[in-house]
Chain A
Amino acid sequence: MAKEQTEKESPGVRAWAPAVALGWLVPGGGHLLLKKTGRGVLLLVAITAMFLCGLMMRGTMFTPQGEDLLTVLINWGGWVGDVCGGVLYLMTVWLGYAQPDVAGHVHDYGTKFLVTAGLLNLLAMVDAFEIARGRKS
């Protein structure tokens, strides 16, 4: 009974899924869909800038591979972070970006910028989810 009441009160998947999906594809897209224009534009600019800086620093994209546990965790974790970048990641891969992992602090920062851009987009997706569910304004 209580469960039914909770389900009636909280919006269903159709309320939040488009915002979360668009939020993954386009950084800040979920917020824009939910008419939070100012926040959506800020997220779009900040996350895209971070991703582009990572590319201009010639950061490496992770690929899901590895043999020992630590390497698997690093590569798979980094790959998930990269994929969270949405269309930025997809376009980069489609356009054939394949920077090898080379020594140097600029490349290293670039790799971190690319992964962090994806992880920040994940935070934006969670925020869009909470707004769509009515938990946040």
Chain B
Amino acid sequence: MVLKDINLSIGKGEFVTILGPSGCGKTTLMRLIGGFLKAIEGEITIAGVDMTNTPPHLRPVNTVFQRYALFPHLNVFGNIAFGLNLKRLPQEEIKKRVMHVLKIVTMTDYEERDVDTLSGGQQQRVAIARAIVNEPEVLLLDEPLAALDLKMRKDMQMEIKAMHKKLGISFVYVTHDQEEALTLSDRIVVMREGEIQQIGTPAQIYNEPQNSFVADFIGESNILNGIMIKDRFVEFAGHQFECVDKGFELHEPVDVVIRPEDIYIFEKLEAAQFSGKVTSSIFKGVHYEMMVTTPEGFEFMIQDYNCFEVGQTVGMLVKPFDIQVMKKERLCNTFKGTVIDKSHIRFLGNNFSCDDAQRFESGASVKVNIDFRNVILHDNEEDGMLSGSVIFILYKGDHYHLTVLTEGDEHIFADTNDIWDDGDRVGISISPDTIQVENI
């Protein structure tokens, strides 16, 4: 995993969570801080000291490993005392400190136990105790709760939070669980494909996601294509809405995010901004989760305490400050290409037939634009000119926006009404009349 443009500073005593799907580079970032990986470029400073080339055993950092990594040849005491023994502290001091951290992790009287005989939660506590007993500047936690069941995980979350408060050392917590991140952190760093997407407090990340990826990854959301009519006015799903965002260009295409709990749903249609028909309604414990389809063909997810029957026509309303408008990362696929002849153009390592190529000299370097709609995906990899796999799916209310990673490690974005799954292998082709060519 390659990390790009990582610029992150963590305050003393802060609880920072690095959040992202698997393969986003969060573990890489953590291993860099721990010293298990060497940074080719850039620098890492801990407590004011440059540690970029410092080996792990000399860093004031301790790690709670994902699979605990407790030493099977040592008992609980031996595991926790490992770091203190290396520092050659007097035995009495070691004993005192081990007993102290055992108390913090509520494992008093377990010091003689074999680590193999402990439950997952207990091993987790020992792993934490083994790390904090050394009083590091930074405690790294690599998905420490991933192996625990839900109930245990909730309890441990609370305990970790309490421990953080008590110890006052910086925690860097790596997870793919957004709920965990929201619960625990002072600040969240959302990562994707080696890049930081957004840094902010849990509330900022949830309420003001900076792009559709963050909005989709954190919590449930309705993400739609929209157009900024003018300042404080946005159009989406065939209607115009008042919003609080400004500073966009006139008629600039944007992404709009509305949380399911922020759409008001009711029977009276007069007060509604738009209407629709309930297509499903599921009881989720505290609220009902309903899918509503509008006459324009857009689907909304709505959470409400009241239940509306399937088939019922309902009115809906969204308040201006509940509409989050985000700049689009891209409006179409753009690649660098070379004109081969009057009817062919080469990009993404392939020659494509292209009607538009006739306007250019052979050999010219050009920019190739392809609309998301014009990327055609095939079930059979052989049917496409290129093959790739679906790595990210975003539901846009009336269609899916797919990110496909080609064999050549390039991203192609496609809009489609067909349902694909994450990881699906697909063939990709592009019709000759839909490739637009531009001079660079």
Question: Do A and B come together as binding partners?
Answer: no
